[in-house]
Structures are given as C-alpha cells and as structure tokens.
Amino acid sequence: MLSGRIILTCGEPAGVGPELAPKALASGVDFAWMGDPRHLPARTLFTEIASPGDPVPAGHLPVLRHDFAAPVVPGQPDPANAAGVIAVIARAVELVMRGEAGGLCTLPISKQALKTGAGFGFPGHTEYLSHLAGDVPVAMMLASTTVTPPCRVVPATIHIPLQDVPATFTDRALEQAIRITHAALIRDFGIAAPRLAVAGLNPHAGEGGTMGRQEADMIVPLLDRLRAEGMDLTGPLPADTMFHAPARALYDAAVCAYHDQALIPIKTLDFDSGVNVTLGLPFIRTSPDHGTAFGIAGKGIASPASTIAALRMARDMAAARA
C-alpha cells in the first residue's frame, strides 16, 4: 500500500531511541516506528502494522515489527543486536525507495557497536544510505530549527580522522559538497537563490598563505570557477568568525572543511532541536542531531525535541517534493 508515512528507524536499542519513539507522537507527524516492540518502554501503547500506511487506533505508535536477537540493557549495546540495527535501516530504505513510505527519519546508532558487533563497513548512516541508494554522492547537513538567523552547516569531509582531513579536503570534495548543498537548498528548503559561505581550512583562512596554502591554492580558484556559473559564494572565510548571528545573516548554509568545524557551531546554538539531513539522496532522510546518549538511556529523561524537529522536517520536505 502506498503511504506518505515517515518511517522512524529504531537505531541502537540500548540508547535513547526506544524511549524517544512514543514521545515523538507529540510531533503530530504521521510516522511508523520500525524496530523490536520488546525494546519499547513498558506501557507504550502500540499497534503492529504489516505495511507502512496501515491504520492504528488514535494515540497508538504504529510499529513495523523487526525482531532482534537479544533483549536490551539500557546503556549497554549488545553485539548480538548490531545486525538487527543495520537490517532495520536497509529494510526501511527499501520501503521508501519503493514509494511505500514518504521518507526516513533515523534514530541514532552507535557506530562503534555496529563495527564491533557486525563488522559494519560504514562510518555512519550518511555513508550507508549513500551506498543503499546506489552509491550516490551525498552531503551531511545539520540544520538548526529554533535559531535566527538559522545555522546550517555541511562538512565537505565527514567521518574521518582529523589527520586525514588535509588530504581528503580536495577541490573535488569541496565542489561536490557545494553543488549538492546548493541543489538541496533549492529543492528541499525552498530557497530560490541560495547563498553559501565556504570556510577555510586553516586559522584566519590561511592569512594570505602565511598559515596554510589550501585557501589560495585550492579554495579560491574553485570558488571563482563556481561563481562564474552564477553561484552566490562567499569565502574562503575564517571559520572562527563566520558563525555569530550577523555573519549567519549573510548566508543560507556554510560549507566547512571537516566534521567538528561544522558541527560545533550548530550543536552549540541548537543542540536541543538541531536536525541532521542527508542531502543528495533520491529519498528524504532526517535524523535528530544527537547520538545514543547511553548515559541517560532507559531513564525516561531524554528530550524528544530533536527527534520531533527531525520528523517535522522530513514531513515538510516530503510535502515540498510532492
């Protein structure tokens, strides 16, 4: 049955994911949770469904059942469950790619638990989803939802060691991140003429070549070439002075060199309600900006705000594409 329902994948069941699913019903978004219902908090009202669009009684969490190998101890990921976490993502993608659901919202996984438990060969959802979609080029955007001017960031290199950044941050990687971000701002965020700011890699954006050469040798020529196509690009900018409010007012998204350069500002400004969006996929995927939060898992105190924001963003993006 065709459905516009968003699928919320369970993520790591020993993290905060299972307790966030019923709390996320407050979003008002039509979604179904995919996972093992034995992992949900006691007294959760849920109804198992066979297809994403099947009806459920009011106030019930629609559940696409996916049995896991082991019960859950909050805060302690069990290697036996790693394969289930991966299988849920793959099954949800299949449904979305077949048009049986309107998009994907993923609850957090533990990259380490999947690697040790199942030899998972991808550093995160972003790379795995790219693979499942046919190895399409993607970009990872984190977007604030409660901050003005908004903070939207895209790291041109993603989940790699810091020591590998200079070699991986090539003009090809940066151009890809800029092009994917530009297209997604038009398609999914309704920004007709996106303004992008591009961060330098080095302190002071290289300070005229005295603190590093990547800006002068690689970023400046690339931005000149893309500007000649009509793109509105600013940079390379010193990363330490491009995220305060007056600076953010001048652009719609910042393309950065590496993970922490991009994610520290957004998570500082809007950790509670930030959303992670994979740009470039043939389907919609959002996620809360936080991780598994093992330290508070199972205590019932995890905030659903970021998951709610992620579900609403997925719904709005699906509506925009429709």
Ligand X SMILES: NC(=O)C1=CN([C@@H]2O[C@H](COP(=O)(O)OP(=O)(O)OC[C@H]3O[C@@H](n4cnc5c(N)ncnc54)[C@H](O)[C@@H]3O)[C@@H](O)[C@H]2O)C=CC1
Q: Which residues are annotated as a binding site for a divalent metal cation?
A: 159, 204, 259
Q: Which 3-state string (H, E, C) describes 211-250?
A: CCCHHHHHHHHHHHHHHCCCCEEEEEECHHHCCCHHHHCC
110 binds, among ligand X, ligand LD2JLWAY, none (CB under 5 to 8 A by kind): ligand X
263 binds, among ligand LD2JLWAY, ligand X, none (CB under 5 to 8 A by kind): ligand LD2JLWAY
**Which one of 11, 13, 84, 124 is in contact with ligand LD2JLWAY (CB under 6 A)?**
124
Residue 265's Cβ-side half-sphere holds a number of Cα atoms within 13 Å equal to 28
> Site residues (CB under 6 A) for ligand X?
16, 108-112, 125, 276, 287, 290-293, 295-296, 302-303
The residue whose Cβ lies closest to ligand X is 291
Residues 238-267, interacting with ligand LD2JLWAY (CB under 6 A): 263
Q: Is 43 left (phi over 0), alpha (psi -120 to 50) or beta?
A: left
Q: Which is nearer to ligand X, 160 or 218 (CB)?
A: 160
**Which one of 130, 276, 292, 306 is in contact with ligand LD2JLWAY (CB under 6 A)?**
276
Burial of 300 per CB tally in 10 Å (0-12, 13-18, 19+):
exposed
Q: What is the dihedral of CA 289, 293, 296, 301, to 10 degrees?
A: 20
Q: Is 288 left (phi over 0), alpha (psi -120 to 50) or beta?
A: beta
Between CA 305 and CA 23 the distance in angstroms is: 9
In the complex, what is the shortest distance from the CB of residue 216 to ligand X, in angstroms, rounded to a whole number? 34
Judged by CB under 6 A, the number of residues near ligand LD2JLWAY is 6
295 binds, among ligand LD2JLWAY, ligand X, none (CB under 5 to 8 A by kind): ligand X
Angle in degrees, CA 120, 305, 285, rounded to 5: 40
Q: Which residues are annotated as a binding site for substrate?
A: 125-126, 267, 276, 285
Q: Are 317 and 103 in contact (CB under 8 A)?
A: yes
Q: Which is nearer to ligand LD2JLWAY, 63 or 107 (CB)?
A: 107
- The residues binding ligand LD2JLWAY (CB under 6 A) are 124-126, 263, 276, 287
